[in-house]
Amino acid sequence: MSVIPLTLGLSLALVGVFLVFFLREQTRSRLSSPERDALLPLAEEKPRVVPAPRSGAEPEVTSIK
């Protein structure tokens, strides 16, 4: 078995995978940016209001984890 056809086949497969991921990222970039995606884990969470018991107590505010 010759190594050159095997190497060319593997190289073309890697090029194809790269092109698919590149084009997918280009179409997705219209909706977001790398800077925004990188900062998403640091975004503030919205507090959630837990319904109070029927006894008339004040609602308790907790954060979602």
Residues facing residue 60 across a β-bridge: 50
Give the per-residue pLDDT at 41: 80
| Sequence spans of domains, the chain | 3-62
pLDDT tens, the chain, 65 aa long: 699 999 999 999 999 999 999 998 888 766 677 787 788 787 777 767 777 667 655 556 666 65
Query: Which among 32, 33, 65, 35 has a CA at the least distance from the CA of 47?
Result: 65
Q: Is the C-alpha dihedral spanning 44, 45, 46, 52 positive or negative?
A: negative
Half-sphere exposure of 55 (CA within 13 A, CB side): 3
Give the per-residue pLDDT at 26: 82
Q: Which long-range contacts (CB under 8 A, 24 or more apart) does 15-20 make?
A: none
Task: Note the pTM of the prediction, 2 decimals.
Answer: 0.46
